[in-house]
Chains A and B, each alone.
Chain A
Amino acid sequence: MRHIETLDGHKRMSTQALLQTLEAAIEEGETDFYIHASGQHDIGGPFWNRQGKKLHFFLTNPGQRVGAMALPETEIVVQGSVPADCGWLNAGGEITILGDAGDTAGHCAAQGQIYIAGHAGTRSGSLMKKDPSYPAPELWILQSVGSFAFEFMSGGCAVVCGVDCEGPVLGQRPCVGMVEGVVYVRGRLPEDAQLHRENLNEEDKRFLGEGLERFLGKIGQMALLPDLTDWRNWQKILPAVHRPKATLSLADYRRTRWIQEGLFSDVLPDTFQSVGLAAKGQFRLRIPVWDNTSELRHCRDCHKCELTCPQKAIVRKERSDGSAVYASLDKACLGCGLCQSVCPEDIWRMENNAELQAFSSLDQEEPSAPSCADASSAEG
């Protein structure tokens, strides 16, 4: 056991001097330290014994980042409270704080155990993560945590026991952006927190049962075990199910939630059906008219219009006297005017189609096909 006194009268050992002293001692084979610190930072990691022996640190009055980056086979016990960042980036150490922990306790811890015998500050447990090649990190807190705890947590396990807490045991906005891991909580949650909560299952109870016994043993509070193992007071927080992007389609919204029949049903009922950019029948902008009434020009029955029509919309009928009548079928014709352009006698003429007076239902659209008789009478 190496005792290190960091104060010599009014002279204080710097963090750097202390850490270099520790490194040298560990290199020499020392494994047990009692350090009466005076606010020196980063005590506890990353240190390792070359023979793989366990390192023990007993600390009083340390500075920030106790056990930060601690490696496995490192055990740290702090008598009393610690400032921010204890167990930051913990890579396998066992860190026991026999008091409160400051902000961001266990921040980014990826392995090991952190036991806190009091409260922990804001953003504690934030970004805890699990490396798939190693055991998951654990963060045990006897009382409560501050706001933004477990922010962006992406693995591992945190336990907040809520002992002697009158208010909520988690501060405001806990678990924001949590994507993995689990937080066990005993006690009241903040009212506005949006959390995915579940009751404990048997596996949870087994894990907590074993873990609480170990935790309470470490912090000397075994008397609390019966109270803390009353599972009715516990719940667990899992990553929020990502608010699903609105899944109701706009079409379904319109059909089920929007004003029935649409905004304009009183003046212009809508079918909400749309037609293509080149539509037929009544949606045509222009229509062909076969007008064989001219004195000067006569249909020479050359079939060109009938043969070239891309929609095969032109029909030819023969009258009893052998002359031909041509007509265009509304439901097939696009109104492109190809018939007009190929007609050697300009018998086909394009006219503007009448505007619709109402939206049309495509299902019911049954434009009448002109009959030969119609065409005949049109011819006069």
Chain B
Amino acid sequence: MDTVNVQDLTVNDLAWVIDYHPERCVLCGACVATCSFGAISFVANKGLGSAQAKKGQGTARIVVRQSTDPSKICCGCGMCEKVCPNRAIHPVSNPQSREAFVNQAQGPRRRGGRGNLPKKRTLDAIFVGRISQMTDPPLDAERHTFDLRAPLGRVLAADKLPLEVSGQSLQISASHPPVAWIYPLIFSDMSIGALSTRAWEAIAIATAYLNEECGLPVRMCSGEGGVPQNLLTSDKLAYMILQIASGHFGWNRILRARPLMRTEPAGVLIKIGQGAKPGDGGWLAANKVSRHIQAIRGVPQTTLHSPPNHQGLYSIEESVQKMHLSLNQVFGFRVPVAIKCAASSTSVAVYNNLLRDPYRICGGFFLDGLDGGTGAANTVALNHTGHPITSKLRDCYRAATAQGLQGQIPLWVGGGIGMNADCAADAFKLICLGANGVFVGRILLALLGCVGNEHGRCNQCHSGKCPTGICTQDLRLVQRLDVDRGAENIVNFVLNFDQELKKLLAPVGNSSLPVGRSDALITNDWAIAQSLGIAFAC
């Protein structure tokens, strides 16, 4: 028998323990075959008689065994459970886990997804407490018509619009910033590379379908991982917000495709930071930079780091003058250009600066909160950096209202929206607190089939071994993903979101989005009431 040392691992040291019932196992092999992490394998049980059995004397008892090899650790994804015909196997979260202390030798720990400790969310302590009853008429969510549109673009105050009286009507007499009125839900920026081609395409198909078949002008943000040439030269580009982050990946090809474009994109989003790893740049492990990713991004196979800041961008003013001006210029000042930052203690200062921008070319301020996180990131960043979105949004909105500038640079917020699957409720509350719209990413992955969650299930987005084919470039895994079913789930989600949003608008009596109508909200938390300036109720 090999010597077992104190530091050797046993299954009970791991975060997930495979609960296996050999009496139900039919040895079909599906669980072992499907496990992309190699965390389980068949072994001859070293039980009584089996040593002889291995030598051909007697019957070996073959069982499924969980690996304790640190490179083959079970992440609880549960694919084994899915494929088992006899409910003989499933992973169980292990409260005795010492896994956080394992693997320290392999450098900073990484994962996908956000905080793993379930915590009470601010939005869950807020309720829509102002119901129109005797005071003013509520609406009928099913039968009344609603105007659910949000601006993307710099909205000028009425007295700043270049209006002239011409005969009996007002005419716009000079050029003015472009404003697109879009659906208040944006599919957030997840790059090709972070996502598999299929996952990205499924989201793109769902976006186009929602526009063309359902009449909902939903926009998708490309992320910064290149944009397919087929899309750049297609009419469907009109639904896409192109992203430029600090790596500028793919922009060479976007610019080369510029003369070939048949339509212009829905917008440009300058990414300064993201909620999953505030203050850190994008990071794509070499194992995901497969041949087609190299082709799409125009990069060699190597781990791709985006710097934490835009090189050559050292101030807010410079960001406006350089990034906004230049990216407005790419599309002739006809396409709104917005900016996305991770929520931070400094967000209000940034927003104030943007509001004072004399060029009036910032078309939106996207704030990504603490709970955001589709991106693979360092665990320490995921767990310990960032700023909750709700109060930061509120601060920004109130800073704007104090100057009478609210609504001029649309506030879009994301970061954990719909974590609890109540996406419409989250969106409604944030809109009442001053958001114009919300962006979501994580929920789209869940709709595609991602099993990752806040309780530490899977979240292996960084590993290249995503068992659902969503966050990997291993085509054997990617080909598991059914594009059509994934896209259908997203479409159905948005149709439900639309209905549920109306169900919340109706009792408040608004037929358009109640931006800043914080009187509609109450909270049972005194501190939240004080912080957000909404009514306390108990």
Contact = CB atoms under 8 A, between A and B. Distances in A.
Given A262-B201, A276-B480, A173 B32 contact: no
A360 interface: yes
A296 interface: no
B197 A270 contact: yes
A122 to B, nearest CB: 12
A222 interface: no
A249 B476 contact: no
B488 A250 contact: yes
Interface string A269-298: 011111111110011111000000000000
B288 to A, nearest CB: 12
B81 to A, nearest CB: 11
A337 B198 CA distance: 29
A341 B213 contact: no
Contact of A344 (B28, B56, B206, B475): B56
Contacts of B27: 308, 310, 338
B292 interface: yes
B507 to A, nearest CB: 17
Contacts of B206: 250
B103 interface: no
Interface string A321-348: 0000000000000111110111010000
A259 B475 contact: no
B197 A177 contact: no
B140 interface: yes
Interface string B31-59: 11111101001111000000000111000
B479 A360 contact: yes
B205 interface: yes
Contacts of A335: 33
Category for how many chain A residues contact B: 35 or more
A70 B27 CA distance: 78
Nearest to A265: B230
Interface string B202-237: 001110110011100000000000001111001010
Given A258-B205, A359-B479, A337 B32 contact: yes
**By DSSP majority rule, is chain A's interface helix, strand, loop, or mixed?**
loop
Nearest to B491: A250
A311 to B, nearest CB: 7
B145 A249 contact: no
A355 interface: yes
A250 B205 contact: yes
A278 B33 contact: yes
B17 to A, nearest CB: 21
A263 B142 CA distance: 36
B44 A338 contact: no
A319 to B, nearest CB: 22
Contacts of A225: none
Contacts of B197: 263-264, 268, 270
Contacts of A10: none
A355 B474 contact: yes
A253 B209 contact: yes
Contacts of B470: none
B245 interface: no
B213 A253 contact: yes
B475 A358 contact: yes
B28 to A, nearest CB: 5
B476 A355 contact: yes
A1 interface: no
B480 A275 contact: yes
A241 interface: no
A350 B41 CA distance: 10
B479 A285 contact: no
Contacts of A286: 33, 38
Interface in B286-336: 290-292, 295-296
A334 B34 CA distance: 8
Contact of A177 (B28, B143, B236, B467): B143
B348 interface: no
19 contacts: A152-B140, A250-B488, A258-B208, A259-B236, A261-B230, A263-B200, A263-B201, A264-B197, A264-B230, A264-B292, A265-B230, A266-B228, A267-B292, A267-B296, A279-B480, A310-B26, A342-B60, A344-B56, A356-B475
Given A341-B44, A357-B475, 16 more contacts: A254-B487, A259-B231, A262-B230, A263-B201, A264-B296, A267-B295, A268-B197, A270-B483, A277-B30, A277-B480, A338-B42, A341-B42, A355-B290, A355-B474, A355-B476, A357-B291
Lowest 7 A-B CB distances belong to which pairs?
A: A336-B29, A177-B143, A341-B42, A356-B475, A334-B33, A268-B292, A267-B295
Interface of A: 151-152, 173, 176-177, 245-246, 248-251, 253-254, 257-259, 261-268, 270-279, 282-286, 300, 302, 304, 308, 310-311, 334-338, 340-342, 344, 350, 353, 355-360
